[in-house]
Structure formats: C-alpha cells, structure tokens
Amino acid sequence: MLKSTVFDSFFAGHCLDAHHVFGAHFAYEGVNGVRFTVYAPNARQMFVMGSFNHWNKYEHRMTKISPQGVWSVFVPNVTEWDLYKYFIENAKGEWVEKSDPFAFYSEVRPKSSSIVTNLKNFPWEDKLWMNRRTKHLQEPMSIYEVHIGSWRKKYSFEWMSYEEMASHLIPYVKEMGYTHIELMPVNEHPFDGSWGYQATGYFSATSRYGTPKQLMQFINECHMNDIGVILDFVPVHFVKDSFGLIDFDGTPLYEYPNFEDANSQWDTLLFDLWKEEVRSFLMSSASFWMEMYHFDGIRIDAVSNIIFWHGNKQRGVNEGAVAFVRRLNYYLSQRYPSAILVAEDSSDFPKVTHPTFEMGLGFDYKWDLGWMNDTLKYYSIDPLYRSYHHHQLTFSMAYFYSERFILPLSHDEVVHGKGTIINKMWGDYDQKFAQARNLYAYMFAHPGKKLNFMGNELAHFREWDEDRELDWHLLQYQRHNSFNRLFVDLNHIYNHHSCLSRFDFDHKGFRWIDADNVNASLYSFYREDEKSIIVCIFNMTPVAHEQVHIGVPYAGKYTEIMNTEKDIYDGCNMCNYQPIEAIEELCHHLPFKIICNVAPFAAVYFEHKKN
C-alpha cells in the first residue's frame, strides 16, 4: 500500500517520500537482503551489479513493476557498505553504468559507485530542541556559513571528519555567539571546486567527511548545544558526469529536453522543473534532509534561475519552475512548520517571502543581496566622496519591509578575485580595520537576520580557497584577535538585547534619527522593543566628532554598550565612559537629545532601558 501511494504521488508531482521506496532498502526483519528500485521509464533492460555479485553485469535482472517505468529487484545476502551501480540498456540501445539517483551514500570522488547503507535507528537525543524549534522571526538569528572541507584541516591538508568537526566547530560557534550554522552543500559531488553546488547525490551525504550517521551525530550534537543547522540545497542544476542523472535512461529524464533550456551558465544541466517526476524527486530530497538528518532548514541556491529562464529577466518568468518552488515550500511548511526556508535570490521578483496562498513563493527569508552590494560598494569609496553616495546606505530601508530579509556577507563575496571583506574597505591597513569594525556593527544593528562566512570574523586577508584551511594563525596577532573579540561581543549584544531582533520585520522596530547628514557622513537610527531602545551612530569618515547632538525619543540615561574604537578592539579609545542623561530639547524631530563623542570611523551603540 505504501509503495502504491508513493508511486501515485510521485508521478503526480506531489511526493515528499520517494526515498522511502526508491533506492536500496534493506528487507523486513528476518529477511536478509536489499531491494533496489529505480525510475527509468525508457530503459529497455536494467540490471543491478555490485560488490555482492563480483560486479557481474547480468546476474540480477530488474523487473519493470509499474507501467510508468519503475524497475525493481530483490537481491539476497547484500550487506551494509556493499557497492553497487545500475547497468542499463537505454532507449538508444546503449549499455551504460549509472549511480543510483536515490543512493544514500556514495564512494569518494573520483570513484562513483553507490553504497548500500541503513539510515534507520539513529539514537537521536534532540527531542527537546526539535519540539521548541522556531523560524526565529522575532528572535536573533546569526548564521555562520561553513564549508566543512576547509574550515579546519588535520595536519593542514587532510579533511576533518564530521565527528572531528563536531569537537572543534561546535565549541567555537558557541563561544562566538552564533545561533545557527549553515553548511555549504554536503550532498555528494564529484568536483571539490564546485563546493557541493554541482551535485550527483541528492540523497547522499558526501563521504569525504565520513558516514551518514556521523553527519547525523554532528547535527545531533549541534542541537544538544542549542545550535541550529541549515543546509544549502541546489534544486536548479546538476553535473554532466556520465555516471549521474544526465540522459539517465537514454532520454533527458531529469533535464530539459532541448539544448538551449537544459545547458546552464555553470556548464551543468538544468532540472526540468515542469516535469512532475522531477518535482517529486527534488521535493523528496529536500524533505529527506529534514526528516532523516534533522536539518533545521534549507537555503535554496540560485532562486533567480528558478524564477527566470536562465536567471535572465529578459527571457521571462519560468512559470513551471515558479509553480514547483511554490509547491515545494507549501509542502515543506506543512510537514516541517518550524523549519526555515531561505531563498538566495538576486532578482526583484515580488513576494518571495509571502505565503503561497497570496501567490508568494512561500519562503521564510530572502538574502538581501541589494543590501550587500550597496553596503560593500559604499565602504570601498574614499570618505572624501562618500557624501555623493550617502543614500547608498539608507536605500535598504526604503524597500526592507517588502520581504523578510537576511543580511549576507557570504562565501560569494570572498572568492574569484573579489577580495575579502576587509580588503574591500577603503584606505590603508589601519583604516581598513576601523571600517570593517564599523561595517559589522552596522550589520548587526540593521534590521534583518545575519549571515557571515567563516573567516570574516578573523579579518581574513586571503581569499577563501577550498583546498586550504582558514588562516587561524592570524589570531596570534593582536589586531586580528581584537577583531575576533569584536565579533564575539556583537553577537552577544545581538543575542541579549531583544530590540535588535524582536521587530525586525515591523516598522515599529526601527526609526531613522538622522538619515540625511550628508556633509558629515554621519548616520543614526534606533532599534526598539517593549524593553529598551538602542541608539546606533555610525561615523563614515576619518574625522572625530565631539559633542555631537543626537535626538532620542525618551528621557533618562543612555549607556554606551558598544564602541568599535574601544581599545579592546584595537581602536583609538575615544569613548563615552559615563551614562549620558537625555536633555529635554527637540532634536532630529525627537523630544530629547544626548550629547556624545564619536571617534573617526566609529560605530557606537547607546542603550536606554524603558523600565
């Protein structure tokens, strides 16, 4: 009954459970062997071969068990970790060897066999976490984006295992104050330089770093330490390697049928997101990672390439692909109501984070790539000319409430000759550090959730390279160590002051104090909730400002809780050491004002408690 139900929904394009039937599954208790099931409607003949039959191509013939093209065979005496592939006479009469599209484990590249493994009966200990998990819409969410293969390495050149990463990464993330880890894709992929974004295994955790259950244990330990884990998911395209999905049964089974639609800008093949079986394959993959691995959400890569044909607005909306992503998000939200669904979308397509019943795409969050581009461009400008670009920084709040945004400074900004974040800052060595401190204080104060790529917190000067670990030796130097300390403090201020996250997506949580001080390039705004407000001031020039008058909404004391020029951050130490009493005098259209000092390139937070 289960198989029939899954098949019906699979062919209708509404299946999230295809992995429970397709792939290699151990038989019922008391029966020794594995059932192999695969979808290949245009194959003429199919066999399964593997280490269990000495790779005899013709010993285990598969039977077509449904008119839509599902093939299956039960093979006795297959054990866990046996290797296998499908041997197919395809629609063209060619004999080809293919990995299992539903394999749960695979060989390390350059090998490509699928591996039989049992994902059941993992002893999860995260029930408390799963029961109280939320989407963090009104809570702080600071995401640490991580590439497992290059965060740290053993002996500077070997990959760490999932288990070893758990023992190093989790304490570090907790100490730094991040709330979530976002893992760059951990599905199986043949080319290290694709970072997992060009996949072969949509149900297969990469064997580079260990076994599936070791990945489960890594996530289990994250949850036991109150750290959420988000997975990068790539439903747009797949690699052309011959053992994979390409031309699977001699026809374009997963890709678009014509060349122009199928071939992508990355020299990969685009999924035919109009095809119901492909939709079920990808929806099942997304569900699989949340169900079997307890991932707390997915970040979908290259959403603009789903919305528009080849990501090109001029070619028009890909209506079938848009229908797919709405369906995906609707079903995932129904099944996993507390899971986080994130769009990496560079387009201006409307309602990306609106519910599907409003004809939105149904995501919870969208990366604010406009904020990222405008902000980094502004910080690269000579302060002498910043007055001409003043509203490059204020523009983000003009559209901010149209979607629910995450502010990303991701891996995409620190590769391929773009320079690292600190290298993008204008000026000499000292000025780069001062402005980078200012930038991150601005990021944490701005409405929206936060995402930073690994190495940003070290003030990494070297571009990220997947073959090398981060330059951890930088922490031996005072300036880099102090910069890392700033990140810790910003995360902890963000986590412990609810006004910085409580009303991220509500107008009442943010107000400009002075958005128009063009001549001084001095910006000020405040964040507010029921408990407190934090007044945020940013000096974008190398000029000190003494006795600056800043409007505030309430009487009482305002205490400096962050100053990026404090000596502990290797700054000039021009701070406001005593609480400042607000003066009842109209300033910036507000009934009170404070008078404070702002150092060159300083970012300053003042807290006022309401009760």
Nearest of 235, 214, 224, 232 to residue 293 by alpha carbon: 214
Phi, psi of 111 (to 5 degrees): -70, 160
Strands 449-453 and 142-146, bridge-based pairing: parallel
Q: CA of 141: how far to CAs of 150, 177, 437, in Å?
A: 24, 10, 20
d(CA 551, CA 514): 8
What is the chain's alpha carbon radius of gyration, rounded to the nearest angstrom?
A: 26
Check: CB of residue 283 under 8 Å from CB of residue 16: yes
Check: CB of residue 189 under 8 Å from CB of residue 206: yes
* Number of alpha carbons in the 13 Å side-chain half-sphere of residue 222: 30
d(CA 533, CA 526): 7
Q: CA of 46: how far to CAs of 13, 56, 93, 116, 576, in Å?
A: 24, 13, 12, 18, 75
Check: CB of residue 137 under 8 Å from CB of residue 504: yes
Report the amino acid identity of residue 107. E
Check: CB of residue 221 under 8 Å from CB of residue 12: no
d(CA 120, CA 439): 46
Check: CB of residue 433 under 8 Å from CB of residue 422: yes
Residues that are catalytic: 301, 344
